[in-house]
Amino acid sequence: MATVFNEEESEIAMVYENLHGDSARSHCGKDRKVSAVQPGMKLYRLVAVSFGLLCLLQVALNISLHLSLYSSYCTALEIVKKNLSDCDNKTLDMEASIETLTEERDELKKKLSDFDYYSQQGWVYFSGSFYYVSEIKKTWNNSRYDCLKRGADLLIVNTKEKQEFLHHLQRRIWIGLTDREIEGTWKWVDGSPLKTSYWATDEPNSYESTDEDCGDTKFFTEKNSWNDSPCEYLLPWTCEKKKNSSSLTQQPKAEI
């Protein structure tokens, strides 16, 4: 009787479930137990899946954050590298400037030192060269020898300004001009040919067929003051030392 009753009850429950679906489970005997477990599982699964998703989201966010930080770090590193490179270039520029300034300073120091030295030795500075006017008289050759010993040479008058400087001296002096090698072919002591000349009237004339092979300023009161004289004459002379001249090293031979 009990078995029959249970079978009937089971059939009724199945029919009821078919008719009312899941909602019926909450009102019926055995199914009431099943429907109490399944929602818990679902919730558990839902929580587990949600937790998993949250973990994945966390991982994704972490990766994204790290990538973003790495990108920022790289950008910052690039900026630092560029700044360092700019800094290096500026340092190199500054070092080059310091080197140039040091060279200029040394050059100026040398000029000042030269200027002091030559001024004390009685030299006069004019337009980039130092000039020395002797107080004594010598032959043209010995005059030149004196200049060479002083690291200079006899005056070369190759500009209008130098001729004006010479005119202002108002003295008869030897200049660095000679035609000793070829008569009539006048050359300066540095070997350069005579181009612009300031010969006095009727000069050079090898006066009365004498050997006048050396230039002087016999007619110093005139603008055109040059004369040719015998090289053995005793006259004052003018030495010229150009800037950066290396003639200090020259070793001339004295006239016997």
Give the footprint of ligand 2F8 on this chain (CB under 6 A).
Answer: 202-203, 205, 207, 212, 227-229
| CA atoms of 228 and 207, how far apart (whole Å) | 8
Contact predicate 133/241, CB 8 Å: no
Q: Which amino acid is at 42?
A: K
Which token pair is 28? Answer: 């019926």
**Is position 247 an interface residue for Ca ion (rule: CB under 5 A)?**
no
Name which of 212 and 213 has its Cβ closer to Ca ion: 212
- E strand or H helix that includes residue 233: none
8 A C-beta contact, residue 119 and residue 125: yes
Which of 152/166 has CB closer to Ca ion?
166
d(Cα 220, Cα 121) in Å, to the nearest integer?
Answer: 25
Strand-pair partners of 138 = 235
Please say which residue, 148 or 154, places its beta carbon nearer to ligand 2F8: 154
207 contributes a contact to Ca ion by CB under 5 A: yes
**Which member of 35, 197, 205, 245 binds Ca ion (CB under 5 A)?**
205
Q: d(Cα 177, Cα 194) in Å, to the nearest integer?
A: 8
Work out how close the CB of 213 gets to ligand 2F8 at its nearest, in angstroms, rounded to a whole number. 11
Of 219-238, binders to Ca ion (CB under 5 A) are 227-228
216 near Ca ion (CB under 5 A): no
240 counts as binding Ca ion under rule CB under 5 A: no
Choose between 179 and 228: whose C-beta lies nearer to ligand 2F8. 228
How is the beta sheet containing 174-178 ordered, strand by strand?
187-188, 174-178, 214-216, 227-229
Minimum Å gap between C-beta 160 and ligand 2F8 is: 24
Q: Which residues bind Ca ion (CB under 5 A)?
A: 205, 207, 212, 227-228
